[in-house]
Structure formats: structure tokens, C-alpha cells
């Protein structure tokens, strides 16, 4: 039990209800206690999280502690990750993910090596938001974890840190990882690269069985920004899923890939308005006079958003002339 003392009469008035036999009464009293926003209330909140016999009270305490970053709170939330109730563990994980203090991260870091996969994933998720350099090493190790949720959170850390030494491992995941969401996360994290070494993995991902991964690859190729990706992205304009085609069009515009002019102009006739809109914007980015006729023909498009995109593209072209 945490040592308890207070000079706040409002806390003192709540004590009988905080110790009531009815769990519902205790839960409401905890909410009122947290509303006081008094650090003196923390011992009651952390004790409720760790020792209250009712699952709903412990879960409420975990939610209420999300705004506090004192060491005793962080330690209690970490300990609650192994609670017997799913609701409590999930609430504790969510509150930990809201922390912004590097000191809190130092307390969370050891939990990234816990025996339980949920705990490892939750700790890594919380560390991701903090962008702690010290989190890179456990994240690299976690790329080999047996649990896909842990691997996914590890990828997130390395991407947010823009940890370039992780690029080979991330490229390997992008090509060989069995879990779709981990592959997708790895592809997105490769966007931190600024050299050609990741292109084979990204171009290969344009043929991934999962359209979500192909969509991420098309987006990331635009971020990496190498003209060498242009041919593969033009091919992706014919993908079976319009979401992939849309991202490919956007990336071709960012790359200003000249050979995309014809395929993008064809997209202006597509039945999906979002695709026509993206194709128009990409044509404007290309800065080629050859796009002028195609865009002028699309000025009367039936969709107002497409017409607006066409006007923007035409203004870009005329400004570049």
C-alpha cells in the first residue's frame, strides 16, 4: 500500500466512499478524486489500481492516471500490465501510451523485455511516443520477437526515431515478414531512408499479396524520392485496387516522373473521382506542357473536387511555362 496523507479536506470527505463495500461507489469516488487534480490523491488512485478487488475499479483507476507522470504512477501502470483482467491491462497500456516524459520512459524501458508478449508490446508502444534513443536497441531486438504485435511496435519505434542502422532489418521484414500489418509498418518505416539501398524492398512490395502493403509501398516510394522508382510506380497505376493506384499517382507527381504523363492522363477518364483528382494534381506536378490538353479536357468534369484539382494543376503548368 502507498503511504497516504493529505491536508485537502475534499479528499478526506471522499475517504469513506473510497473504502465502501460497493465497487460502484468506490469507482465514482475515484472519478471525483481525480477531478480534484491534487497530487495528494495519487496514493489512493495507485492503490485502487493495484489492490482493489473489483476489476471495474482497477480499470477506472488506470484510465484516471493517464494525466500523471510521477514515478509511482508510471510504476503502478506498468505493474497493471500483468493484471488478471483484460480491461485493466488495456486501460493501463493506453494510459502509458499517453505519457510524454523521458523520465517515464526510463521506467518503462525494462518492461520491453518482459516475458509476456502483451506487456512487451505495450511497453514498446509507450516508448514509441517518447522518441527515446535508448529505445532503439530493445526495438531492434524485438524485430525478432515471436509475437507480431511486438514486432509491429518495434518497427514503429525505429521509424519514429529515424534509426538508419535499422534499415537492413526493416527491408528484410518488408520482404519476408509473414504478418501483413508488420510488413506494412516496415514499408512505412523505410521512408526514413535517403539512399537506393531500400528500393528493391519497396519496389518488391508493390507486388505484395496484400493491397494495404502495396498502398504503403507506393506512398513510401514517393517519400524516398528516387526517380528510379518511377517505372515501378507507373506499373502500379494498373493495380487491381484503386487505393494503390491513387498513392502511385501521388508519388509519381512528387517524383515528377516524365514517363508517367500518358498513364496519368488516362486516369483522368477513370470512373472513380478520387483517382481523377489525384491524377490531375500529379499532372500539375510534372510541369510538362503535354499535360495541358488532357487537363483542359477535364475542366468540365462532373465532380467539383476534380474540377478544383484540374484548376490547381493548370495554374501550376501555366506558372511553370
Listing DSSP states for 24-90 in one string gives: HHHHHHHHHHHHT--GGGHHHHHHHHHH-S-HHHHHHHHHHGGG---HHHHHHHHHHTT-SSHHHHH
Contacts of 136 (CB under 8 A, 6+ apart): 157, 158, 161, 163, 165, 166
Residue 4 has a pLDDT of 72
Four-CA torsion 174, 114, 99, 130, nearest 10 degrees: -40
Residue 208 has a pLDDT of 96
Residue 320 has a pLDDT of 58
In this prediction, residues 302-311 reach a mean pLDDT of 95
Residue 238 lies inside a defined structural domain of this protein: no
In this prediction, residues 161-165 reach a mean pLDDT of 89
Residue 233 lies inside a defined structural domain of this protein: no
Residue 243 lies inside a defined structural domain of this protein: no
Residue where one domain finishes, among candidates 38, 72, 98: 98
Residue 248 lies inside a defined structural domain of this protein: no
Residue 321 has a pLDDT of 52
- Find out whether 144 and 172 touch, Cβ atoms under 8 Å: no
Residue 27 lies inside a defined structural domain of this protein: yes
Q: Which domain holds residue 297?
A: 257-321
CATH number at residue 307: 1.25.10.10
The cell 523521458 sits on which residue? 102
Closest CA to 87 of 122, 126, 55: 55
Confidence of residue 3 (pLDDT cuts 50, 70, 90): low
Please, what is the average pLDDT of the chain? 93
Asked if residue 204 and residue 105 are part of one domain, the reply reads yes
Asked if residue 129 and residue 180 are part of one domain, the reply reads yes
Asked if residue 116 and residue 78 are part of one domain, the reply reads no
Residue where one domain finishes, among candidates 50, 68, 98: 98
Residue 7 lies inside a defined structural domain of this protein: yes
Asked if residue 213 and residue 104 are part of one domain, the reply reads yes
Q: What percent of the chain has pLDDT above 70?
A: 98
Residue where one domain finishes, among candidates 32, 66, 98: 98
Q: How many structural domains is the chain composed of?
A: 3
Asked if residue 13 and residue 58 are part of one domain, the reply reads yes
The separation between CA 119 and the C-alpha centre of its own chain, rounded to angstroms, equals 19
Residue 318 lies inside a defined structural domain of this protein: yes
In this prediction, residues 193-204 reach a mean pLDDT of 86
The string of pLDDT tens digits covering residues 233-279 is 999 999 999 999 999 999 999 999 999 999 999 999 999 999 999 99
Amino acid at each position: 500500500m502507498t503511504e497516504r496523507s493529505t491536508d485537502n479536506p475534499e479528499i478526506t470527505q471522499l475517504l469513506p466512499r473510497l473504502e465502501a463495500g460497493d465497487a460502484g461507489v468506490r469507482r465514482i469516488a475515484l472519478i471525483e478524486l481525480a477531478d480534484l487534480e491534487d497530487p495528494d490523491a495519487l496514493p489512493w488512485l495507485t492503490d485502487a489500481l493495484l489492490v482493489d478487488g473489483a476489476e471495474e475499479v482497477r480499470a477506472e483507476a488506470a484510465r484516471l492516471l493517464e494525466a500523471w507522470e510521477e514515478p509511482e504512477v508510471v510504476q503502478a501502470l506498468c505493474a497493471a500490465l500483468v493484471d488478471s483482467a483484460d480491461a485493466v491491462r488495456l486501460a493501463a497500456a493506453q494510459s502509458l501510451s499517453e505519457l510524454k516524459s523521458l523520465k517515464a520512459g526510463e521506467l518503462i524501458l525494462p518492461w520491453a523485455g518482459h516475458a509476456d508478449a502483451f506487456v512487451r508490446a505495450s511497453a514498446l508502444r509507450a516508448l514509441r511516443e517518447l522518441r527515446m534513443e535508448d529505445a532503439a536497441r530493445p526495438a531492434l531486438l524485438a524485430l525478432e520477437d515471436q509475437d507480431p504485435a511486438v514486432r509491429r511496435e518495434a518497427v514503429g519505434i525505429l521509424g519514429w526515431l529515424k534509426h538508419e542502422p535499422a534499415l537492413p532489418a526493416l527491408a528484410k521484414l518488408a520482404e519476408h515478414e509473414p504478418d501483413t500489418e508488420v510488413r506494412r509498418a516496415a514499408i512505412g518505416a523505410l521512408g526514413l531512408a535517403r539512399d537506393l539501398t531500400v528500393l528493391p524492398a519497396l519496389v518488391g512490395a508493390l507486388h505484395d499479396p496484400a493491397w494495404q502493403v502495396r498502398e504503403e509501398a507506393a506512398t513510401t516510394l514517393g517519400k524516398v524520392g528516387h526517380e528510379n522508382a518511377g517505372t515501378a510506380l507507373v506499373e502500379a497505376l494498373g493495380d487491381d485496387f484503386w487505393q494503390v493506384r491513387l498513392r502511385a499517382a501521388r508519388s509519381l507527381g512528387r517524383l515528377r516522373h516524365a514517363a508517367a504523363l500518358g498513364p496519368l492522363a488516362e486516369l483522368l477518364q477513370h470512373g472513380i473521382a478520387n483517382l481523377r483528382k489525384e491524377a490531375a494534381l500529379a499532372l500539375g506536378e510534372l510541369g510538362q506542357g503535354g499535360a495541358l490538353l488532357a487537363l483542359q479536357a477535364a475542366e468540365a468534369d462532373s465532380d467539383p473536387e476534380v474540377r478544383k484539382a484540374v484548376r490547381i494543376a493548370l495554374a501550376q503548368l501555366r506558372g511553370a511555362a
